[in-house]
Structures are given as C-alpha cells and as structure tokens.
Amino acid sequence: MNKPLKQNLLIVESPAKAKTIQKYLGPGFQILASVGHVKDLPVNKLGVDIENNFVPEYVTIKGKGKILSALKKAGKNADGIYLAPDPDREGEAIAWHIARELGTGNKQIFRVLFNELTEKAIREAVASPGSINQDKFESQQARRVLDRLVGYQISPLLWSRVKRGLSAGRVQSVALRLICDREREILKFEPREYWSLTAHLAADEPPPFKARLTDYDGKKIELKNEIETRKIMSEVSGSTFTIRTVAKKKKKRNPSPPFITSTLQQEAYRKLRFSAKRTMSVAQNLYEGVELGRKGQIGLITYMRTDSFRLSDEAVKQARGFIEKRFGQRYLPQKPNSFKSKKGAQEAHEAIRPTSVDRDPEQMATYLNKDQLALYRLIWNRFVACQMSPAVFDQTQAEIEAGKALFRASGSIKVFDGFTVLYEEGVNGASKETNGQDMILPPLKRGEKVDLMELEPAQHFTQPPPRFTEATLIKALEERGIGRPSTYATILSNIRNRDYVYVDKRRFRPTELGLLVTDLLVMNFPDILDPAFTAQMEERLDQIERGEIPWTRVLDEFYGAFGKDLEKAQREMKGEVFTSIHCPECNRPMAIKSGKNGLFLACTGYPECKNTANFTRDEKGNIVMEKPSHVQEGDEICEICGRPMVIKRGKFGEFLACSGYPDCKNTRNIGAKGESDLPRVFPGKKCKLCGANMLVKRNKSGQRFLACERYPKCKHTEPMSTGIPCPENGCEGTLVEKVSRKGRVFYACDRYPQCRFVMWDEPYNGTCPVCGTPVLRIRRPENADPVLSCRRKGCDFKEPLAPVAGD
C-alpha cells in the first residue's frame, strides 16, 4: 500500500502571490492566502487596556471568519505549516496572529521570508525556514497601539469641539502640520528685489557666450535695484573685456543608487505622475507575479517595502554581465558600485530591483499593462544604471575683467555618457543635466580680448518656498524621520481623502478646516504635533525591533505625557482659534469656529454677544471679516408663492431662500455684487408638462438648470440648453451646460451617453469660414473683449465677437 503524499500548508497574504508560489512548490504544498490581516483591534472601541500594561484586545476582522476557518482546517491536516506573509513588520504581525490561531498541539510552525518570488528564492526560503520574530511583531504591535491611543482619543475631541467625522493621526497630523506650516511661510514671505547683469560676448572663434557679473571692485556684489545696475552698466559698457583666467577640469557624475520605497515613490511621481498609492499598488502586482505566457506567473521585482540599498552579489554579477554585453567594457566600472544605506535601515532586505535583468522592459511589454510597464521600466533602468560607469564632463570656467567688474562664464560638455545612456534621475520633472545653466564655451585663452555684444540687465524677486507635492512631502517626511517608507502611501492617501487639504496644480494646500484642526492640536497636544518627537518615536520603534527595549516601556513613557495632555484638553479645549479681529458690537476678540455650513467668525463673548460673520483671507493670510451682503431680507419676493426671500448660507456661500420653507422650497443664487444672479423666468421657455414659465435654478454643485415655477406641484426640470445643435455627424442632440466635479463649466450633448461630444469653451452657433467646422467657440479673456475662434486644432481662424443687439 502506497504511503499518502505529505501535504504541507504555506500561507501568504494575497491570492496572486499564492498562485506564483504554487507553480514552484508543486503538489506537496497547499498554498492559501489570508488576504491581509485576519485580526486587529476592534473598530467600535479603544481596544487597549491602558491600566493593564497596554494589553491589546484583538478581534477577528469583519469578513475574515471564513478565511480563518479555512486556514485552521487546512492546518489540522497539514504535516508542516509555513507562514509566508510579506517580510516586514505588518507581515510579521499577520504571521503571529495566524500562528496563534493555528498553533495547537506539537505541530511546528515555520516562518518563511520571500524577498523575491522566483523559483530559486522560493525553494531556498522553504528549505531553510526560520521562526516568527517576536521583536519585529512587538514593534508592529507598539505602533498599532500608539496609533490607536492617539486616533481614538483625540478624534472624539474634534468631533465634539469642531465637527463630527474629523480624525487625528499620530503621523498623519504631523504631515498635515508640515503642509500648514509651509502655507504660512508662503503667506508671510516678503519678496526681495535683486538684479542680474549678463554680458553677451564673442571671442575670435564661435560660439558666442554669456557671462554674469559676480564681483565689483574686488568684492562680491549683489545688485539690489535698477539704479545700481544701470550705474555699473554705464561704467562697464566702455571697458575692454579681457579673459583673466581659464580653468578646465574633468568632472564625474556617479549613478544614483537603486530604488528604495521612498525614492521609488518620489521618482514615479516626478516621471510618471503616479501617486504614492498608485505606485505601491502597481509595485505589489509586479512583486506578486505577472502571467508571462507559457512561463506562467512570475514575480518581476523584489519586495517593494524596503529602506536598504543592499544588492545581492548574484544580482550585481548578472547586471555587470548584461552591461558588458549590451554597452561594452567602457560602461562597466572595474569594481561593482556599492551604496551606503541610512542609519537604521533593514539590511536584511535588498533594494528594489528586477528579479532578472534578462527580462528587460521591451521583452515584458506584451505581458504588462501600461502602468506596470512604465514602473517596471523605471525600476529596471535604475537598477542596471546603478552598476554602470559614471558620466564624464569637461568643465570650463572663465573669468572676464571689464574695468572694476568681473564676469564669470561656465560651460560643460559631456565627453562620456556613462550611465546616462540608460537613466537620469528626475528633478521636479526635469533631469539633473538639463536643470543647470551650463553652456558650450568657445576656445578661450588668458589675456584674450573678447567683444561685448550686449549688456542685459534683468530684474528678479526672491521666491517663497514651494508648496509640497507628493514627491517633496515624502522627501520631507523621510528627511525628518517621520513615519516609515511603507506608511507614506497611506499617510498621503489619508490626507487627500480628508477635508484638511486640497490639491491645486499637483500641490497640497490646506483648507481652513485643516488650518483650524492643526492649530487646535498644536495648542493642546504639542508633543504629538512635533515632528522631532514623532521622529524620536520612530527610533524607539526601531529599538523595539532590534530587541533593545521592551515595547511596553515605550508605551508607558509615551502615555505618561500624552495622558496629561489628554486630560487637560478634555477640560479646557475649545473648538475655536482666536483671531486679531475684535467684535464690532462688544469689542471682544473674534474666534474662528466650525458650524454645519462651514467655518465662521464668532464673538468670544457668547452667549452675551451672539455676533457672527463670515470671513476670508487677504494675500498675506490675514483674517478679513466679510461685510454683509447688499441684498437685505425682504428686498426680494418669491416668484412662486409671493412671500419674502431671506438670506441663507450653505456650503457654496450665501443664497436666497423662500421664508415659506418647508411649504415653499424655492431658492435663488446671490451674485458677486450681492444681487440675485439668476433671471426669475427663462424667456420664451414653457414647461412641457403644464405650460407654466421655466425658472433658472442652480444645484448644490453650482450647475444651472431649468425648473417649473409651479414646483412642488409640478416637478419638471430640464438641462440648461444653449439651443445650439450638436456638431457630431448624424446627431440630433443639443448642447447643454454642465459643471464638472471641480466646478468648471463645460458643454455636452444632451443625448449622452449615446453621444459623447464635449467642449470646454462656450459654444457659438456658427461655421468656421476657413475650414468649415460647425460650432465655433467663444473665449472671454480678462480685461479684453471676447473672441470668436475655430475649435479645430490647427485652424487659426479668430475674430472679435460681435456684440449682441441691445447689449
């Protein structure tokens, strides 16, 4: 009788990863996926026993009961159990919780770490398994408890003092503070004027070149205004320009190190416009495995959550062989390039690299989608380039005398491209090479006279620090030691999904709510909102992982100070921030508060003084109290029921509402000058159902529409029609006005989705006299007359828009 085949159980996090591993381990292993964490702190309560050494209460995550049951059943029948979640703190916690659920009897449970999902790596890891790292798990547990203590005890304060639904986070709130602090730096910034003076020169041989004034009368000079600049110009213009010195040298530029999590997120943002969340999602796909035709599912990159620049000897050897074969000996340094990781990096992990250099991006193009290919090419190019020879430049710097003035010109020529033949690191969307001011200089000799062609003065102003993009915020967090590379994507995603910030031209700007919440937290929880304190906590978590300090001691030290701040905030914290504005009725300070319709100014003398007002900010960020609207209650009459209209305020500002609400729900917008900006009746338009007049209305998002004046008896509505036929061939629709999610007006066919024609400019019912394109567009530039032009790309028809009779 044949012995039954031994069956081992191996548990990973994701089904995709399970599929890749199954291919290599064969029928002797049953591969199951936990689909992430299976246990966590409860959602509906704190779940941490503060009085009993911070013991956490773990419960099964909703929806994971069936998965846990399946894992337990498989574990009972297995000869051996191998836990293979991701090789980081979160993965260690998943393994620990599963082991606690499955660990019955004398059956041994092994921990397996896969840095890459290739046949060799998988078989080697299973052949030499380890055990669960208790220190790493306790580090994760300490982080989870810390985040729960902060989030679940500060957030309710914000709900009761400011607004329900708000949240605070130990790291998230510090990241928000960085954004708010940067905004205040920008608002307080005072531009300083300065000037530059550039000489356009020509030597005996081409090309012409430029030199900038750097010294005057033997001293460094900073031109502060036009008068000073013009004075030097008049002195210099009649002088002889002579080459005083010429310095030549070779300069090498070394390749960037391979990617770690933070640099991958930054570079993917700069070059691919990927958010951190999108980058990590795509990288996870590449790590867990992609179908490569007959070869099956294969992991294409190493583990993507790492802060180590370490590379395996085998990977470096493979890269060097590829470089020599593809590019030649000149591009291969004598010794492999190595890169030093920052202090505290997890050197057990490798940097992010392709699992095989032989799988170049061109070969993978048919198997990967657009995002996967773009990110894989970035990772592959960066890894190969990091093992290539440096680029070499011939640099020349010349100093040119003209009377008391000294000008300097710098030039550089790339004489060997080295690693740049394959890859150059991005700098805010540009490459380092193209970001400089260097130029090609002609052959120059000391004592040579050069001709002055032109003196070019230029006015400049110092610039404020730029607002954070995702890339620069990640860099700031990393430099300050805030959070871990694996948490950046979640932090940024949380910030974007709250009402604390908005994104303008790909840069973070805080909302008034974000500024208010940050100010309240800084006042009441100074340690939690201190970047240095947060960075220190990260170091303490690293110490726990290294086994240098018990996790409960870290929590005890933290809660000693935090608990006192919490008790004080519960007694004294108010949901208001004082301003420098005084109440016009009682002269007491006004404070910013939050209400159901947004933020407003309220007198701090409440309830004795109930004065409130809306506010804006000036260009320096100072609070400015809004004046009451020109529309006074009772000035306008409801066209539906004849009762007075009253002023209300909603999310989108002031509006007029019928005083007969809820019997009459008529509303009307108030324009910028305080008048009602919508006509009471749309001329010539009657309701299709009852024949009454149609009124122009506006919904919450600002989109105009037509509604029957007999509402609510007649609820007929129509889109705001332009009356212009849709220009698509064969379409019988009409263009109607719409508003995008971001509040921008556009025009689309009313037969959508059958017809998807759309245009962003205001349409004009006419035909282009040059190319015959139907429906022109109207452009209305500021401080200029409107212009009529063709909407077809490449057609340059344009003429002033004729005024409509009666305008």
CA distance 523 to 162: 14
What residues does 32 pair with on adjacent strands? 11
Q: Give residue for tokens 């109440």.
A: 583
Sign of CA dihedral 529, 533, 538, 543: negative
Per the CB < 8 A criterion, the answer to whether 241 and 404 are in contact is: no
Give the separation between CA 561 and CA 563, rounded to whole angstroms.
Answer: 6
Q: What is the pLDDT of residues 26-44, one digit of tens each?
A: 888 999 999 889 999 999 9
Amino acid at position 698, single letter? R
State the average pLDDT for the chain: 86
Active site residue 303: yes
Cα distances (angstroms) measured from residue 222 to each of 130, 227, 235, 241: 64, 13, 17, 21
The gap from C-alpha 94 to its chain's centroid, in whole angstroms, comes to: 29
Contacts of 585 (CB under 8 A, 6+ apart): 603, 609, 611
- What angle in degrees, to the nearest 10, is found between the helix axes of 261-272 and 488-497? 50
Amino acid at position 595, single letter? G
- State residue 314's pLDDT score: 92
Phi, psi of 766 (to 5 degrees): -165, 170
Our measurement of the distance from residue 744's CA atom to the centroid of its chain's CA atoms, rounded to an integer in Å, reads 22
* CA 242, 245, 250, 253 torsion-angle sign: negative
pLDDT at 437: 46
Residues of the chain with pLDDT under 50: 1-4, 429-437, 629-631, 633, 651-652, 672-677, 679, 804-807
Which position has the token pair 């380092």?
Answer: 432
Contact 634, 644 (CB under 8 A): yes
- Cα dihedral angle (788, 793, 796, 800), rounded to 10 degrees? 10
| Interatomic CA distance for residues 84 and 95, integer angstroms | 7
Among residues 317, 323, 434, which one has the least CA distance to residue 389? 323
Q: What is the pTM of this model?
A: 0.75
- From first CA to last CA, the distance across the chain in angstroms is 102
The length of the chain is 807
Q: Which of 433, 545, 555 is nearest to 91 (CA)?
A: 545
Cβ contact 339:247 at 8 Å: no
- Active-site residue among 287, 303, 423, 500? 303
Report percent pLDDT > 70 for the chain: 90
If you count DSSP H runs as helices and E runs as strands, how many of each does the chain have, helices first? Answer: 17, 40
Secondary element (H or E) of residue 287: helix 276-288
pLDDT of residue 485: 79
